[in-house]
Each structure stands twice: as C-alpha cells, then as structure tokens.
Chain A
C-alpha cells in the first residue's frame, strides 16, 4: 500500500479527485433538485399566500400557521392520525412480536412457510389493499357482513365505512393486516442475532418460556422495537392518506380526515397550495416531535452482547 501511495504523482491525485467528483456530483445534483429543494421550497411556500397559477405570491408571514390553529378540521385530523398511530403500534407490535417469537423460539418446521405468507401483504400496493378492503366492508356485497351473518338469525348489514363511529376503527384492520409482516421480519432477524447460550443459561436457571421472553428476548430486541415503533409513526403520518382517500374519502363529514389527505385536498382540490404546504410542515414537525418523544420514553441503556 505504502509503495503505491508513494508512486502517486500530482496528476494521479487530481485524477482521483476528478473520479470521486464524477461519481458523486450527478447523483447529488439530481437529489438536491428533486428531494432537498422541494423540502426547502415547501417551508418557504408556507409563508406565502398562493393558489398556483401566475398571479403574484403574497408574503403573509405566519398567517398560514394562524389559520392552521383556527381551522377546526386540523384537530380532528391530528386526533385521527394519532388514533391510527396508537392502535397500529399496539396491534402491529403485539402480533408481530408474538409471531416472531413463536416462529423462532418454538422451532416450528413450518417456519419458512409462515414467514413467506405473513410478509406477503407488505408488498401489495396500498391502492389494491384500500380497494380490496372497502369491498370486504361493503354492507351488502362484502364478506365481512356475510361472515358475521353466519352467526345471527337476520343478515347483518353494518355500514362499516359510512357510520361516524365505526369508520375510523374500520381503517385499522387493513393497516394492521398490511403492516405486520415487515415488523415481524425485523424482530425475527434481531431474535436470531441473540446467542443461544443466553437462552440455555436462562433455562438452566429454571426460567420458563415467558421468563425467557421478558428476561432475554425483550431487552435484547429493545432497540429494534424502538426503531420499528418510530417507523410506524413516520409511515402512518405519511401514508395513512391513501387508505383514507380510497376507503372513506375523509368522510363521513371529515370524521376520518387525516393530515396527509387534508394536505392533498387543500393543495390539489381547492388549490389553496400554500396552506397545503403549511400542513406539510406541520406533518414534518409532528413526526420529529413524536420521534424524539418515543426515543425519550422508550430509552433504555443499550445492552451490548
């Protein structure tokens, strides 16, 4: 190595630099234009009044933010976003952990089969999932009511997505259904990283499966747990929009409105673009705050193996 370095003349130093730049710059330039610039532009837009088109953009300072605080739909949307986050975190993490532990610790020979099946919903388009589940919920044609009717005398005709109380709850099963597999795989991978000797030591000490789970597994997968929960928060704030758009259109009467879909409606249906951008900033701020809070609440001293 040393001899190679010594041979480097000035020209080779320059050709090395040129090589590095030629490999980094095209990517960075396009990334800056299509990813970084829109983010900054979004922040910038939120201080203006603008509805697209060619008319002038008026600087209005924090007026969009004031409007945000007096808009009665925003609290509903935030409440719904956090409703979905809360229940998705609970249900997905419970089921994903249960499946991951069951598949790894019980040493089932069908392990591979379940792994493949359970992950499958994660790679289906959210659009397909939304359309499919709205049909599952269809009051007269869907199989949910048909299934429930098997247990009752009269056919059940619940309007799952149309009634104000049920609609937001009905958005949960598709989100959980589509989410579990990914987190299950993550937890499986971190469980498989735990040395078997720890489990052997625990079982010699007389720890049963549950004790082994709380004493060995849980502390050692905790970091992965935290990462997964944060990931659920970010993807929900970002992506619940599609499920809402396809299944309830925010209705009935904005009862299932979420921030992402409200942004879309403001921006592209009502052409209140700068206000839409302001909602985008709100989403960013909320995801940052929530991420920090979760990091703080779930913080435990990391255990080195």
Chain B
C-alpha cells in the first residue's frame, strides 16, 4: 500500500507530461491541414504579405471557383472519380472471386498462387514503371484514362493483391454451414457465390474498397507517367503541374484551394468510415 501511495503523484505527473506531448502532436498534425484551408481563402496580396498566421481578411471563396473552372480542377476531379470508381469496381470483382476460391477450395497450386499474390506486394512499384508505359502503348491504351484505370486495378500499385489478401482472411471467417445448406438445396456454385457469399462479404468488401479507393485517389507516380493530355489529368497530377507553374505566376490562393479540393473527399471518407479504415488496415497487416 505504502509503495502505491508514494508512486501516485509521480504517475500523475508523468501522465500530464504525456498528455502535453500528445496535445503538441495533435497541433502539429492539425495545424498544417487547417492552414491549407485558411490559405485557400486568402487573396494573393494577403499571402504575399508573409504573415502566415493571419486569418483570411476577405474569405475569398472565389479561389475555389477559379481553380475549379479556369484551372480545370473540375475536369480533374471528374477524371479522378471515374478512375477511382472504375478501378475499385474492377479490382473488387477480380479479387473477390479469386479470394473466395483460395479461401474455400483445395486444389493443386493453391499455396503458390496465394504466395505470388502476397509476395507481389513487396515488389517496388518503380521497377514496373517503364515497362508498363510501353505495355500500354502496345495495347493502344497510352494516354487514356481507361488504361490508367486498368493499371490501377491489376497493375503494380498493389490494390488487387491487397484486396485478395484481405478477402481471403475475410472469407475464412464466414461460416461454412450456409454453403453446405445451399448445396443440398441444389444451388449451383455460381449461385452460392453471387447470391450468398458475395452479399455476406459486404463488410469486408466495403473496408478494402474504401482503403483501395484512398490509394487510387491519391496515386501520383503512374498517373503522371501514363497521362500526358491535360484534359485527362487526375487531381494529384493537376496539383503537381500547378505547383510547377508557380515559378512563373503566383496564385497561392487557388493552389491551396486545389489542395483543399483534393483533401475534402478524403476527409469525408475518413469521417464516415473511420472505423473501417483504421480497423481494416491493422487487421490486414497483422495477419501478414
């Protein structure tokens, strides 16, 4: 008892110090993000004053309209949405079918197949960059959003192997009784998968779909190499191009409005699906 009572003030003190550090890191994390939104509402003159702490004086929402239409972020946004939705749809159906078989059927080569998918996640994306560029031009898909979408779905950025890896784990947790009952009822293999297993795996599909959507939405390397036509830029490419142009003309407000436009969907997804995103990540990584 005596030991405990003498230790308590010390514990209280160290707890306070820890709290202080956590609070400090919270500020370090949040302030740059907040600052992005504040700067996106400033006009150029105010940014150039060099007083980054100040709040915007006029709240120029015009920066958003400006970057959306004149700097074509509206188009980029639309392109990014198309590519993201398309690649998630394609990769999910390809991953779910394979994952279901790997989780539920035994056959020769199953272990090797699973190993190939999982091991491919360890291979650096950059190694495939140059060959992919030429593969797409051989397929007459260079400079096309459809080609980019395909690369995201099944290419080296790794969303397909991650989805397979995650969903194999997920299908293994589903009870077998339902399938057995359906087999006795005379359902076909396809019927069992599409009518029973696929709907049952919705939570797993949502988790992995959101995480991969974030990866695709944020992807830059492939998009900048495979797309040259300004009309087909995605949001990250548009931002990088705009930043490069800042050497010639300074438009800080609109640039930051562009950053904000890129972050808003991510923040929305995070607010809505925080549990799936953080939970799914750790569940996936811990099994590995």
Residues of chain A at the chain B interface (Cβ within 8 Å): 1, 4, 15-16, 19-20, 23-24, 26-28, 30-31, 33-39, 41-42, 45, 52, 95, 98-99, 102-103, 106, 108, 110, 114-121, 123-128, 130-136, 140-143, 146, 177, 182, 185-186, 188-190, 193, 206, 208-209, 224, 227, 234, 237-239, 241-242, 245-246, 259-260, 263-264, 267-268, 273, 276-277, 280-281, 283-284, 287, 291
Do A127 and B120 contact each other (CB < 8 Å), given the known contacts A26-B94, A27-B94, A280-B126?
no
Residues B51 and A146 in contact, CB atoms below 8 Å apart: yes
Q: B94-124: contact bitstring with A at CB < 8 Å (1 yes, 0 no)?
A: 1101101100010100000100110010111
Residues A267 and B151 in contact, CB atoms below 8 Å apart: no
Taken together as a complex, chains A and B put the C-alpha atoms of A98 and B286 apart, in Å, by 19
Taken together as a complex, chains A and B put the C-alpha atoms of A194 and B239 apart, in Å, by 44
- A residues in contact with B125, CB < 8 Å: 238-239
Residues B105 and A20 in contact, CB atoms below 8 Å apart: yes
Q: B46-57: contact bitstring with A at CB < 8 Å (1 yes, 0 no)?
A: 011011110000
- A residues in contact with B123, CB < 8 Å: 39, 284
Residues A31 and B131 in contact, CB atoms below 8 Å apart: no
Do A42 and B236 contact each other (CB < 8 Å), given the known contacts A114-B26, A119-B278, A186-B282?
no
Q: B224-263: contact bitstring with A at CB < 8 Å (1 yes, 0 no)?
A: 0100000000011001100100000000100110010011
* Extra 19 A-B pairs, beta carbons < 8 Å, given A23-B98, A127-B239: A30-B154, A31-B154, A36-B116, A38-B135, A39-B123, A39-B131, A42-B130, A99-B25, A110-B22, A117-B29, A124-B266, A131-B239, A132-B36, A136-B35, A143-B53, A146-B52, A185-B282, A206-B3, A263-B130
Taken together as a complex, chains A and B put the C-alpha atoms of A41 and B137 apart, in Å, by 14
Taken together as a complex, chains A and B put the C-alpha atoms of A234 and B123 apart, in Å, by 8
Residues of chain B at the chain A interface (Cβ within 8 Å): 3, 7, 11, 14-15, 18-19, 21-22, 25-26, 28-30, 32-33, 35-36, 39, 47-48, 50-53, 94-95, 97-98, 100-101, 105, 107, 113, 116-117, 120, 122-135, 150-151, 153-156, 160-161, 164, 180, 183-184, 189-190, 193, 214, 217-221, 225, 235-236, 239-240, 243, 252, 255-256, 259, 262-263, 266, 269-270, 274, 277-278, 281-283, 285-286, 288
Residues A118 and B239 in contact, CB atoms below 8 Å apart: no
Residues B130 and A277 in contact, CB atoms below 8 Å apart: yes
Residues B18 and A102 in contact, CB atoms below 8 Å apart: yes
For the complex of A and B, 4 pairs with smallest distance between CB atoms? A125-B218, A38-B128, A38-B131, A41-B131
Could you name 8 residue pairs across A and B whose Cβ atoms are closer than 8 Å?
A23-B98, A31-B120, A35-B156, A117-B26, A123-B218, A246-B243, A283-B124, A284-B127
Do A23 and B285 contact each other (CB < 8 Å), given the known contacts A119-B278, A125-B220?
no
Chain B residue, CB-CB nearest to A3: B184
- A residues in contact with B214, CB < 8 Å: 123
Residues A120 and B220 in contact, CB atoms below 8 Å apart: no
Taken together as a complex, chains A and B put the C-alpha atoms of A110 and B126 apart, in Å, by 40
Residues B281 and A260 in contact, CB atoms below 8 Å apart: no
Residues B126 and A260 in contact, CB atoms below 8 Å apart: yes
- B residues in contact with A20, CB < 8 Å: 101, 105, 107
* Interface residue SS majority, chain A: helix
Taken together as a complex, chains A and B put the C-alpha atoms of A110 and B18 apart, in Å, by 12
Of the candidates B21, B53, B153, B218, the one whose C-beta lies within 8 Å of that of A126 is: B218
- B residues in contact with A102, CB < 8 Å: 18, 21-22
Residues B127 and A128 in contact, CB atoms below 8 Å apart: no
Residues A42 and B128 in contact, CB atoms below 8 Å apart: yes
Residues A24 and B221 in contact, CB atoms below 8 Å apart: no
Taken together as a complex, chains A and B put the C-alpha atoms of A196 and B48 apart, in Å, by 56
Residues A35 and B29 in contact, CB atoms below 8 Å apart: no
A25 to chain B, nearest CB (A): 9
Of the candidates A34, A119, A259, the one whose C-beta lies within 8 Å of that of B135 is: A34
Taken together as a complex, chains A and B put the C-alpha atoms of A177 and B27 apart, in Å, by 12
Q: Which of A30, A239, A246 has the most CB of B within 10 A?
A: A30
Residues A116 and B274 in contact, CB atoms below 8 Å apart: yes
B283 to chain A, nearest CB (A): 8
B187 to chain A, nearest CB (A): 12
Do A224 and B25 contact each other (CB < 8 Å), given the known contacts A34-B156, A238-B126?
no
B182 to chain A, nearest CB (A): 12
Residues B288 and A227 in contact, CB atoms below 8 Å apart: yes
Residues B132 and A128 in contact, CB atoms below 8 Å apart: no
Residues B113 and A28 in contact, CB atoms below 8 Å apart: yes
B117 to chain A, nearest CB (A): 7
A96 to chain B, nearest CB (A): 11
- A residues in contact with B240, CB < 8 Å: 127, 130-131, 245-246
